[in-house]
Amino acid sequence: MKAARPLLGDVLEDRELVRKLLAQDDKAYRIFYETYQEKIYKACVYLLGYQDPDAEDVTQEVFLAAFKQLPQFEFRSSLYHWLYRIAMYLCYERIRKRRRQIASLNEELDEMAGPHSVHHSIHQENENEKSKLLSLLEEKKKLLGAPCQELLDLREAQEKSYAQMADILKVPIGTVMSRLARCKESLKLLMTKSMGEASYAG
């Protein structure tokens, strides 16, 4: 009887794939992502909720975390189960963050609401604040430089997937994810600094 061909998910295949990933093999990056992306995304959707807008972002965070931790991977489980555990941790972190945000928002609304409050005025104020934040965001994006602007535009405005971005930019998916993460972090710092200065000025 002919021996069955080892599956990608077994230990031997995992070891070979990890070896190539650590050697920064571009093809291995694509195989790694395309093999596990859909499974991890489904796991995130299952926990976060059907068509949750954060599911794809959490999926990408899983791969970013995995690339950083890969040198410490000890093959005590399959790659998939390792990725799955990372996904569950990040999903629960996202859920905890949402709960804190909701609790904080409820407190703010309770403070604003009073016997003579007018819901329309609150709504209008929120819309004005949102408009100001969007304008500030666009202003700060221009300070990041053309490469970051292009990445953010592909991801947010054009809603391209990471695989599509890698094809457009002709770089590995892992490079796209790490560069985008750095750009988002830089933008976050610029926004935080500007908002802090505005609050002191106000």
Q: What is the DSSP string of 4-63?
A: PPPPTTSHHHHHHHHHHHHTT-HHHHHHHHHHHHHHHHHHHHHHH-TT-TTHHHHHHHHH
Q: What is the DSSP letter of 160?
A: -
141, 149 in Cβ contact below 8 A? yes
Ordered by where they begin, the domains of the chain are 7-111 (1.10.1740.10), 132-202 (1.10.10.10)
pLDDT at 122: 43
Say if residue 202's pLDDT is above 70. no
Integer angstrom CA distances of residue 32 from 7, 83, 199: 14, 11, 45
This prediction's pTM: 0.53
The pLDDT value given to residue 103: 61
159 vs 42, more confident: 42
* Average pLDDT of span 54-61: 88
pLDDT band for 110, please (50, 70, 90 cuts): low
- Of 67, 71, 104, residue with least CA distance to 86: 67
Residue 166: closest CA among 178, 176, 156, 157: 176
pLDDT of residue 116: 43
7 vs 164, more confident: 164
- Between residues 61 and 202, the one the model is more confident about: 61
